[in-house]
């Protein structure tokens, strides 16, 4: 049995396209095909249906599961041997959203690299659901996600409870509420309810955070006037902070603005059923994945960073141009 053939087979299963996979792996189509045929000869079964389009056979599904386990165990072995030999050279496959990476990595990497200057951080930018899939397939070592997947093979460490805020510019509020703007702001300063902002256009999110916010609209009993829809918080906040529509932001997305939020923008803590609307952020890895010493250290720095962010008063995040995390 050839572990390289198993690796190539698992990669082909992602695309189910010989040309695309071969190009991605920088090998010829014939080389890739030879490895697949070698596996079929070894196991004595057909792994792929070639027509009408490439797909896994029933046997292929089982071999794929075995191949993913083998790939993960091979990576575990490499990390274990590196720890035994006390090597400080290696690779961490890390995933998160652009927002969480751009907020956290500039603070985490200097400290990490001072200890492990020869460890590469290979970054994948995707949403939480896709990141969980990559953890399960062994394509990522660590990922930061919005909790909610709860897969039995995933180990989860809580990072923080991230408050969700409703953001609206003064100019927008005056346009729709006129003389009632100041009363609305006073009411929402400590506890905002979306029903009090029902006249406004909204930047809506179609991701896990958006699903949580939708519960607020359902509870308030109205359908929002949608200005934009996006899966990315940074897109909706960039629009909302221009005063074009109300938007929703988290502590992390506000931190990512680095004090660039103008004084015209109001940031109200969002509540639903009398409770603050929070999303739980976690760092995850596969339960069967061995974490090298340097990967564990990287995870420790992630935990430290997010725990510190959770303690910063929101007023400081909104108004300060430079947040120092020690």
DSSP 194-208: GGGGTTSEEEEE-SH
With contact defined as beta carbons under 8 Å apart, do 237 and 260 qualify? no
| Percent share of the chain, pLDDT over 70 | 94
- For residue 182, the model assigns a pLDDT of 94
- The per-residue pLDDT for range 67-103, each reduced to its tens digit, is 888 888 888 787 777 776 666 678 899 999 888 888 8
Query: H helices within the chain, ranges in order?
Result: 3-15, 18-25, 29-43, 58-84, 98-115, 128-137, 170-177, 181-188, 208-220, 233-240, 251-256, 293-311, 314-319
- For residue 323, the model assigns a pLDDT of 41
- The per-residue pLDDT for range 19-43, each reduced to its tens digit, is 999 898 888 889 888 888 888 888 8
Phi-psi region of 89 (alpha: psi -120 to 50; beta: other; left: phi over 0): beta
Enter the pTM of the model. 0.70
pLDDT at 154 over 90: yes
Looking at 147-250, which runs of residues are DSSP E strands? Answer: 154-169, 201-205, 225-230, 247-250
- For residue 76, the model assigns a pLDDT of 77
- For residue 324, the model assigns a pLDDT of 45
- For residue 84, the model assigns a pLDDT of 66
Euclidean distance between CA atoms 18 and 9, whole angstroms:
10
- The per-residue pLDDT for range 191-250, each reduced to its tens digit, is 999 999 999 999 999 988 898 899 999 999 999 999 999 988 888 888 888 889 999 988
- For residue 319, the model assigns a pLDDT of 65
- For residue 113, the model assigns a pLDDT of 93
Q: Of 312, 209, 199, 182, which is closest to residue 270 (Cα–Cα)?
A: 209
Question: What are the structural domains of the chain?
Answer: 1-68 (1.10.10.10), 70-158+279-316 (3.40.190.10), 160-277 (3.40.190.10)
pLDDT at 322 over 60: no
Euclidean distance between CA atoms 127 and 144, whole angstroms:
9
pLDDT tier at 158, thresholds 50, 70, 90: very high
């Amino acid at each position: 049995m050839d572990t390289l053939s198993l690796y190539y087979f698992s990669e082909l299963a992602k695309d189910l396209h010989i040309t695309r996979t071969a190009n991605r792996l920088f090998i010829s189509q014939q080389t890739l095909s030879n490895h697949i045929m070698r596996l079929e000869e070894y196991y004595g079964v057909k792994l792929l249906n070639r027509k009408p389009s490439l797909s896994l056979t029933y046997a292929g599904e089982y071999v794929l599961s075995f191949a993913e386990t083998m790939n993960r165990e091979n990576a575990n072995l490499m990390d274990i041997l590196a720890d035994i030999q006390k090597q400080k050279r290696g690779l961490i496959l890390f995933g998160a959203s652009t927002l969480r990476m751009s907020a956290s990595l500039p603070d985490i990497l200097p400290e990490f690299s001072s200890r492990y200057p020869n460890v590469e951080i290979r970054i994948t930018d995707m949403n939480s659901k896709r990141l969980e899939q990559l953890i399960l397939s062994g394509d990522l070592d660590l990922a930061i996600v919005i909790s909610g997947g709860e897969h039995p093979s995933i180990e989860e460490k809580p990072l923080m409870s991230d408050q969700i805020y409703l953001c609206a510019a003064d100019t927008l509020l005056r346009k729709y509420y006129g003389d009632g703007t100041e009363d609305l702001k006073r009411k929402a300063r400590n506890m905002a309810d979306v029903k009090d902002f029902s006249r406004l256009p909204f930047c809506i999110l179609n991701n896990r955070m958006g699903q949580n916010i939708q519960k607020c609209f359902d509870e308030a009993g109205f359908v929002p006037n949608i200005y934009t829809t996006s899966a990315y918080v940074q897109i909706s906040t960039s629009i909302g902070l221009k005063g074009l529509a109300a938007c929703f932001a988290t502590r992390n997305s506000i931190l990512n603005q680095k004090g660039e939020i103008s004084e015209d923008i109001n940031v109200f803590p969002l509540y639903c059923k009398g409770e603050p609307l929070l999303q739980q952020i976690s760092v995850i890895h596969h339960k069967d994945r061995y974490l090298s010493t340097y990967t564990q250290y990287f995870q420790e720095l992630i935990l430290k960073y997010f725990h510190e962010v959770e303690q910063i008063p929101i007023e400081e995040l909104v108004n300060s141009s430079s947040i120092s995390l020690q």
